[in-house]
Chain A
Amino acid sequence: MLSRRNLLMTAIAVPALMTAGPTLAADGEVTISHYFTGELGLGGLKEIFAEFQDETGIAVKDSPIGHEDFKTGILVRAAGNNLPDVFSYWAGARTQFVIDSDSLRPIDDMWNANGLNDVVAKSVADGATLYDGKRYLVPFGYHYAGMFYNTAVLEEAGITEMPESWGDFLAMCETLKSNGVTPIALGSKNRWPAQFWFDYLILRTAGPDYRAKLMDGSASYDDDEVKKAMAMWKELIDKGYFVDNANADTWTDASDKVARGDAAMTLMGTWITGYWNGIGLEPGGDYDFFEFPQVEAGVPNAVVGPVDGLVISANAANPEDAEKLLNFMISDTDVQAKWAGIQGALSANVNVDDSAYTPVMQHALKAVAGADAFVFNYDLSTPPPVAEVGLSMFARFMDDPSKVDDILAQASEDAEKAFAE
Chain B
Amino acid sequence: MERETGVWRLVFLALPLGVFTLLVIWPLASSFYYSFTNWNGFSAEYDYVGFENFAKLWTDKLFFNAAVNTVIWMVAAILLPTLLGLVLALLIDSRIPGGSVFKSIFYFPICLSAVVVGQIWIWIYQPDWGLLNTAVNAAVGSDLSFAWLAKPGTALGSVIVAWSWQQTGLSMVIYLAGLTSISEDLLEVCEIEGASIWQRIRIVVIPLLTPATVVVVALSVINSLKGFEILYIMTGGGPFNSSDTLAMHMYNESFKKYLMGYGSAISVVLFLVALTIIGIYFRELKKVDEIYG
Contact = CB atoms under 8 A, between A and B. Distances in A.
Interface string A102-129: 1100000000000000000000000000
Nearest to A421: B259
Contacts, number: 84
Contacts of A396: 239-240
A385 B149 CA distance: 25
Given A75-B255, A75-B260, A244-B145, A395 B239 contact: yes
Contact of A247 (B11, B150, B258, B259): B150
A248 interface: yes
A421 B257 CA distance: 9
A388 B262 CA distance: 15
A219 B258 CA distance: 23
A98 B127 contact: no
Interface residues of B, number: 32
A81 B44 contact: yes
The binding surface of chain B is classed by DSSP as loop
Interface in B245-290: 251-252, 254-260
A245 interface: yes
Contact of B15 (A12, A189, A190): A12
A204 interface: no
A392 B152 CA distance: 12
Interface in B68-112: none
Given A71-B256, A75-B42, A388-B257, A245 B238 contact: no
Nearest to A398: B239
A248 B126 contact: yes
B224 interface: no
Contacts of A399: 150-152, 239-240
A392 B241 contact: yes
Nearest to A81: B44
A191 to B, nearest CB: 7
Contacts of B11: 8, 12
Interface string A70-89: 01100100110100000000
A413 to B, nearest CB: 10
A71 B254 CA distance: 10
B147 A248 contact: yes
Contacts of B157: none
Given A75-B255, A191-B238, A245 B127 contact: yes
Given A245-B127, A385-B258, A102 B44 contact: yes
Given A8-B11, A12-B15, A81-B44, A384 B256 contact: yes
A160 interface: no
Contacts of B257: 384-385, 388, 418, 421
A47 B44 CA distance: 35
Nearest to A103: B42
B238 A189 contact: yes
Given A75-B260, A385-B257, A421-B257, A244 B236 contact: no
B41 A392 contact: no
Interface of A: 8, 12, 71-72, 75, 78-79, 81, 97-98, 100-103, 189-191, 244-245, 247-248, 384-385, 388, 392-393, 395-396, 399, 418, 421
6 contacts: A12-B15, A71-B256, A75-B254, A97-B42, A101-B44, A244-B145
Q: 5 closest A-B pairs (Cβ-Cβ)?
A: A101-B43, A101-B42, A248-B150, A247-B150, A245-B147
Given A247-B147, A248-B150, A385-B259, 13 more contacts: A71-B255, A72-B255, A79-B41, A101-B44, A102-B44, A103-B44, A189-B238, A189-B239, A245-B150, A248-B126, A384-B257, A388-B252, A421-B259
